[in-house]
A and B are shown apart, each in its own frame.
Chain A
């Protein structure tokens, strides 16, 4: 009598369901995030568009002094920082979904998502640094380009 080394019924070979399963609940959290951030972004971006494009002279009044005037206030710093982070995560996750849908070859999908995440990191880091290290009154610049409060006293 011999012992059976591997007492399992032989199974027909099947395709590995690697794309049918996700680990953990990451995709669920992503789905929830898209909806929660979407509502916040509606408020943040509509406010941004109203102040920058509708009030005053609209796009014609945007210049260094205009931006400096806004970012001298913590209110707009926080507003723009939130907008930057939420929009970048929301947008990157959206494009990630689209890449997953249409880029069927593994190599193409990997490269596209690599570029996407690179663009995400560069944009978020750059934008965050700019908001926090911004100087509204750079010393060696002509005064007529600066906001009025730079020369006020």
Chain B
């Protein structure tokens, strides 16, 4: 994207499509959630690889995923994944749908709405698994 080469530096960036607004913050959130998911993925492949060592070793380590603190971590992980997934679809629509850039802000609110609905379906069930009795 060619920027004006000799535009005088502005003090407050105004008139840009994204900066400081929903578009920028969704971009920041997409990066933050993406990095978090990536590092979990590295750990998750390692812990799953313990099935190759022995059933006892795998069960010992996966057992730590069942305590309440890890349970909350899993809720956070799922939240990060759900946001990243829905916002990713929004990015694709911005790129490929002719009216995508025009509706990018509306689509972010739709993403957040779908996020709330999905988490409302997931969280009670997951928290019941984690905190509920046998």
Stretch at the interface among A2-10, A22-30, A34-42, A105-113: A34-42
With a cutoff of 8 Å between Cβ atoms, the chain B residues found around residue A91 in the complex are 34, 37-38, 41
List residues 22-73 of chain B with CB under 8 A from any CB of chain A. Answer: 31, 34-35, 37-38, 41-42, 45-46, 48-49, 51-52, 54-56, 58-59, 62, 65-66, 71
Name the residue of chain B whose CB is nearest to the CB of A126. Answer: B49
Name the residue of chain B whose CB is nearest to the CB of A46. Answer: B85
- The reply to whether B54 and A138 contact each other, CB–CB distance below 8 Å, is yes
The yes or no answer to B125 lying at the interface (CB within 8 A) is yes
Q: How would you classify the secondary structure of chain A's contact residues: helix, strand, loop or mixed?
A: helix
- The reply to whether A141 and B56 contact each other, CB–CB distance below 8 Å, is yes
- The reply to whether B89 and A39 contact each other, CB–CB distance below 8 Å, is yes
**Separation of A88 and B125 alpha carbons in the complex (Å):** 29
Q: How would you classify the secondary structure of chain B's contact residues: helix, strand, loop or mixed?
A: helix
Contact of B35 among A46, A98, A130, A142 (CB under 8 A): A98
- The reply to whether B46 and A126 contact each other, CB–CB distance below 8 Å, is yes
With a cutoff of 8 Å between Cβ atoms, the chain A residues found around residue B105 in the complex are none
With a cutoff of 8 Å between Cβ atoms, the chain B residues found around residue A59 in the complex are 65-66, 71, 74, 126, 129-130
The yes or no answer to A84 lying at the interface (CB within 8 A) is yes
The yes or no answer to B110 lying at the interface (CB within 8 A) is no
Interface size class of A (residues with CB under 8 A): 35 or more
- The reply to whether A53 and B42 contact each other, CB–CB distance below 8 Å, is no
With a cutoff of 8 Å between Cβ atoms, the chain A residues found around residue B81 in the complex are 45, 49
- The reply to whether A130 and B122 contact each other, CB–CB distance below 8 Å, is no
Interface size class of B (residues with CB under 8 A): 35 or more
The yes or no answer to A94 lying at the interface (CB within 8 A) is yes
- The reply to whether A57 and B129 contact each other, CB–CB distance below 8 Å, is yes
Contact of A127 among B38, B45, B74 (CB under 8 A): B45
The yes or no answer to B92 lying at the interface (CB within 8 A) is yes
The yes or no answer to B108 lying at the interface (CB within 8 A) is no
Contact of B59 among A49, A64, A92 (CB under 8 A): A64
With a cutoff of 8 Å between Cβ atoms, the chain B residues found around residue A39 in the complex are 88-89, 92
Name 11 interchain pairs, CB-CB below 8 A, sorted by A: A38-B85, A42-B85, A53-B122, A59-B71, A91-B41, A92-B38, A94-B31, A127-B45, A133-B52, A138-B54, A138-B55
